[in-house]
């Protein structure tokens, strides 16, 4: 599942090995509205897999599972998926109009402004909650070596400030580099704690746990041997950067690396999960170049949480507290107010119902 073949030009694009003459085109590809589309519905409309985190689509409230009915008055039933994506792209600052239908059947017409994507890997904000208690809020958009370094700095800043709790928002985080998701989990867990097991064979609901590996919590991307492994937190002095309560927010767009991190923190009782059931993509994939310049993305293994949960088989992670909302901002001053001493904050962070619930649980 999720395996894919690409011809040479597409393979260079997805692996970011573009030729000089292709670079201006690829730069334009990163200007859009942030909608990831998937298969077609029975009626022929394209389904939204997820909006990119902090994209115009997310800010407009487009949700995983919505149907994309038309783009700039072109019905998506009448044009190909590539043509739909081409219409969605355009100069930064220009607008496009989309018609979407949500899972309840409500149809909306939305104007979206294109901008350059992707966004920085994370945002950090601080909230004053009742009785002078402070909670840190981290929005982690994807997993990369840069994201791991910035997450470590964010946690160190939270500890320096003495926050009373943390909210970790992984909504619409599609994943990223497998090793970096493990490295991020190591920042929250005690030494020698298991993070995830990878298996190629899975029978009788018993995951194989072999070849344990200690993961540096600042590991860089590296290639794995494809075999059954268990990954656990090493004994670095910088492991477990915080011991405060954590509330972690998920939705249907939280996949892959997000599920590794969330599963590890939940199974070790380090976080309560809030939001919706996650996407359920508990697999590991690698790129394999072919002789003619084309390439394959192959699923080589699946991963199992420390408590033995098969994320793919179970259809994602079930939250401890159900909450459906998107990061668009619903400020309620009686529950939370911004720390106005932060001069570097240029705009008010997004506050919605799920964040408000998380703030009550992370104190």
Q: Which residues have a catalytic role annotated?
A: 256, 267, 281
> What are the structure tokens assigned to 298, written together?
């192959």
Are 285 and 332 in contact by the 8 Å Cβ rule? The answer is: no
Provide the token pair at 348: 């008010």
- Distance between CA atoms of residues 33 and 42, nearest Å: 25
> Contact, 179 vs 221, CB < 8 A?
yes
Q: Are 145 and 177 in contact (CB under 8 A)?
A: yes
Q: How many other CB atoms are found less than 10 A from the CB of residue 149?
A: 15
Dist CA 94 CA 115 (whole Å): 8
**In degrees, to the nearest 5, what angle opens at C-alpha 349 toward C-alphas 348 and 354?**
135
* Euclidean distance between CA atoms 361 and 363, whole angstroms: 6
CA distance 339 to 93: 31
């Amino acid at each position: 599942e999720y395996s894919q073949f690409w011809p040479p030009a597409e393979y260079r694009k997805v692996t970011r090995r573009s030729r000089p003459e292709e670079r201006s085109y690829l730069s334009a590809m990163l200007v859009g509205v942030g909608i990831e589309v998937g298969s077609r519905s029975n009626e022929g409309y394209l389904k939204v897999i997820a909006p990119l985190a902090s994209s115009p689509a997310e800010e407009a409230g487009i949700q995983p599972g919505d149907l994309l009915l038309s783009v700039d008055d072109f019905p998506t039933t009448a044009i190909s998926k590539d043509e739909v994506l081409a219409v969605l792209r355009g100069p930064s600052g220009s607008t496009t109009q989309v018609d979407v239908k949500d899972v309840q059947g409500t149809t909306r017409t939305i104007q979206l402004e294109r901008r350059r994507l992707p966004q920085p890997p994370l945002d950090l904000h601080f909230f004053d909650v009742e009785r002078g208690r402070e909670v840190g809020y981290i929005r982690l958009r994807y997993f990369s070596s840069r994201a791991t370094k910035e997450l470590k700095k964010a946690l160190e800043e939270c500890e320096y400030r003495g926050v009373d709790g943390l909210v970790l928002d992984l909504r619409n985080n599609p994943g990223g580099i497998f090793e970096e998701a493990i490295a991020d989990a190591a920042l929250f867990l005690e030494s020698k704690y298991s993070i995830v097991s990878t298996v190629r064979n899975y029978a009788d609901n018993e995951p194989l746990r072999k070849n344990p590996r200690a993961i540096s919590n600042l590991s860089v991307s590296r290639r794995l041997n494809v075999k059954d492994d268990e990954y656990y937190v090493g004994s670095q002095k910088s492991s477990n950067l915080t011991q405060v309560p954590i509330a972690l927010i998920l939705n249907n767009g939280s996949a892959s690396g997000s599920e590794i991190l969330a599963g590890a923190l939940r199974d070790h009782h380090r976080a309560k999960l809030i939001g919706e059931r996650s996407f359920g993509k508990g697999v590991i994939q690698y790129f394999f170049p072919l002789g003619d310049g084309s390439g394959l993305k192959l699923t080589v293994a699946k991963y199992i949480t420390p408590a033995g949960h098969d994320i793919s088989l179970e259809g994602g992670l079930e939250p401890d507290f159900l909450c459906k909302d998107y990061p668009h901002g619903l400020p309620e001053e009686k529950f939370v107010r911004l720390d106005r001493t932060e001069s570097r904050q240029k705009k008010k962070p997004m506050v919605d119902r799920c964040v408000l619930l998380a703030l009550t649980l992370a104190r």
